[in-house]
């Protein structure tokens, strides 16, 4: 049908429907993401950002509405390995070395050993953990583990990246470097990225569009186009339009009834 990367029409999600701990996590989500876009989801804790990513990834089923990923059902897109999910928690397998963790998706997808090893090395180098290939996850810091998870997401070159606060556990320096790397990968490969963050500067710096959400029930209150010139560089962070966009996002969050930092 269409060439959209993600289409959501009137999507709602109710957890534990009918019981006393029923939660309406999302309500009436309408969102279309074009192929090659970089879209950030921003909003306070509990507004359903992770749930929306899980819905796109066919890891939970919507209670209402319709979803489409790469012109297919989310189910089919998952079977076609169209996307990689980088979870909020690193979720590495503790009995596998860092290298073997990154190779996990390649193993499942039947990539041969030499190729697996080469690619896992390349992506570990990218996240600057090349020398930790034979370490075990528990020998790494939280931020390093998260970078391994990012390498594991990138390693099989999916068209769509679903990233849930991937840089949340990183220090400011590493975070900015990882942002540049991600920008670079995104521009080079033309991937579509859906990126959850709590940080207004991060959302504005990375995105082509910022989706502002508010809680109870989780819904989209605003969508802000970020038309800052590409490629974004160090100078972007000091430009006036960048500050104006940040103000716009901050005000959108406040208008949604959300107190921000």
Partner 1 sequence: MEVVEGTSRRVEGRDASNRSPIPPAFRSLVWFLAILASLVLAWELYKVVGKALEGIVPLPVRPDNKSMPHVWDIVGVLFTRRLPNEPILLVVLLRESLFTFREALIGFAVGTAVGFSLAIAFSQSRLLERAFMPYVVASQTVPLVAIAPIIVIWGAKIGWPVWISVSIISAYLVFFPVAINTLRGLRSPDPTAMELMRSYAAGRRDTLWKVQAPAAMPFIFSALKISATASVVGALVGELPSSLNQGLGRALLSFMYTFITGPEKLFAAILVASLLSMSFVGVIATVEHYVLRNRRGSR
Ligand X SMILES: Nc1ncnc2c1ncn2[C@@H]1O[C@H](COP(=O)(O)OP(=O)(O)OP(=O)(O)O)[C@@H](O)[C@H]1O
Which CB atom, from 91 or from 199, has the smaller least distance to partner 1? 91
Distance, CA of 228 to CA of 219 (rounded, Å): 26
Minimal distance in Å, beta carbon 56 to ligand X? 12
Pick from ligand X, Mg ion, partner 1, none: which does 222 bind, CB < 5 to 8 A by kind?
A: none
User: Cα(first)–Cα(last) distance of the chain, in Å?
Assistant: 42
Distance, CA of 83 to CA of 192 (rounded, Å): 9
Q: What would you report as the CA-atom Rg of the chain, rounded to the nearest whole angstrom?
A: 18
Minimal distance in Å, beta carbon 75 to partner 1? 9
Tell me: does residue 49 bind ligand X (CB under 6 A). yes
What Å distances lie between residue 103 and 51, 106, 110, 126, CA to CA?
Answer: 27, 5, 11, 15
Which CB atom, from 51 or from 214, has the smaller least distance to partner 1? 51
Q: Which residue is nearest to Mg ion (CB)?
A: 50
Which CB atom, from 3 or from 21, has the smaller least distance to ligand X? 21
Tell me: does residue 91 bind partner 1 (CB under 8 A). yes
Residues that bind partner 1 (CB under 8 A): 54, 57-59, 78-81, 83-85, 87, 89, 91, 93-95, 104-105, 107-109, 136, 138-139
Residues that bind ligand X (CB under 6 A): 15-16, 23, 25, 45-51, 88, 218
């Amino acid at each position: 049908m269409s060439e959209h990367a993600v289409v959501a029409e009137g999507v709602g999600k109710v957890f534990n429907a009918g019981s006393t701990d029923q939660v309406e996590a999302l309500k009436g989500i309408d969102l279309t993401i074009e192929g090659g876009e970089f879209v950030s989801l921003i909003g306070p804790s509990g507004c359903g950002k992770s749930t929306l990513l899980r819905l796109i990834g066919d890891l939970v089923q919507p209670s209402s509405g319709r979803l489409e990923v790469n012109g297919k059902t989310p189910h089919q897109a998952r079977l076609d390995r169209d996307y990689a999910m980088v979870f909020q928690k690193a979720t590495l397998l503790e009995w596998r070395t860092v290298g073997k963790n990154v190779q996990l998706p390649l193993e499942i997808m039947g990539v041969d050993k030499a190729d697996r090893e080469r690619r896992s090395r390349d992506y570990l180098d990218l996240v600057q953990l090349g020398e930790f290939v034979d370490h075990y996850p528990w020998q790494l810091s939280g931020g390093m583990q998260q970078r391994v998870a990012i390498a594991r997401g990138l390693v099989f070159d999916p068209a769509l990246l679903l990233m849930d606060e991937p840089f949340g556990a990183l220090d400011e320096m590493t975070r900015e470097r990882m942002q540049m790397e991600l920008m670079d990968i995104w521009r080079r490969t033309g991937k579509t990225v859906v990126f959850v963050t709590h940080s207004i500067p991060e959302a504005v710096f990375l995105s082509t569009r910022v989706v502002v959400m508010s809680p109870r029930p989780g819904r989209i209150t605003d969508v802000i186009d970020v038309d800052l010139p590409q490629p974004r560089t160090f100078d972007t962070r000091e430009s006036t339009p960048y500050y104006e966009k940040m103000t716009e996002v901050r005000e959108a969050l406040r208008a949604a009834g959300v107190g921000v930092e």
